[in-house]
Structure 1
Amino acid sequence: MKIHVTDEALQYFKEEMEAKEGDTIRFFAKYGGSTDLTQGFSVGVHMETVDRAAVEETVDGIHFVVSDQDDWLFQGQDVEVSVQNEEIVFSQAKQ
């Protein structure tokens, strides 16, 4: 599993969450909702460090992680993090 953060999503995190080099943004399972990846759960976003990352991608010095307790949500798929209608969207990365 890999995380691909689009340029637009990176800019969103910098502006909306004031993320900067050295910060960690965690993607986690949230009950309710759905994504292109799974039904019944959505993806939460929080700025916090993670002790045991299952997946980590660093873009422009910002660490994007999924902890080992939440990696089931992505079902081993490569994930694209993008922006649509001014909201973060998680979808299966295009091959």
Structure 2
Amino acid sequence: MKIDVTNQAKKWFKEEMQAEKGDSVRFYVRYGGSSPLHEGFSLGVAKDEPVEPAVTAVYDDITYFVEEKDVWYFDGHHLKVGFNNKLQEPDYNYIKETGAT
């Protein structure tokens, strides 16, 4: 699994979540809502410090991560964080992993 964050999404995290160099942004499983992967669960996001990170990506000295306990949610998919211009917020796409990563 890997995490990709587009430039527009990185800008949103910096402006709206006030993420700065040295900060960490966690993607986590929330009970409620739905996603293309799991009915009854959705993806949450928060500034947080890693405890047992399973996957990390660093852009502009900001660490984006998923904890080990939340990896099940991605069900063999990479996370691509894009940006929805109409809603002016990030959108989350799940890309099925293939043999080559």
TM-score of the aligned structures, taking structure 2 as reference length: 0.86
What is the aligned residue count? 95
Q: Distance in 2 between matches of 1:7 and 1:93?
A: 18
In the alignment, what sits opposite 2:61?
61
Structure 1 stretches of at least 4 aligned residues deviating more than 4 Å after TM superposition: none
1:18 aligns with 2:18: yes
C-alpha change, 1:83 and 1:31, in structure 2 (3 Å) is same
Query: What are the Cα deviations for residues 13-50 of structure 1, in whole angstroms up to 9, with x where unaligned?
Result: 00001101110000000011122333221111110101
Q: Distance in 2 between matches of 1:65 and 1:22?
A: 13
Instruction: Decide which structure has the larger Cα Rg and report it.
Output: 2
TM-score of the aligned structures, taking structure 1 as reference length: 0.91
Segments of 5+ residues of structure 1 without an aligned counterpart are none
Shift of 1:93: 3.5
Segments of 5+ residues of structure 2 without an aligned counterpart are none
Residues 76-85 or 65-74, more deviating: 76-85
Percent of aligned positions that are identical: 40
In the alignment, what sits opposite 2:88?
86
CA contact (8 A) 1:37 1:90 kept: no
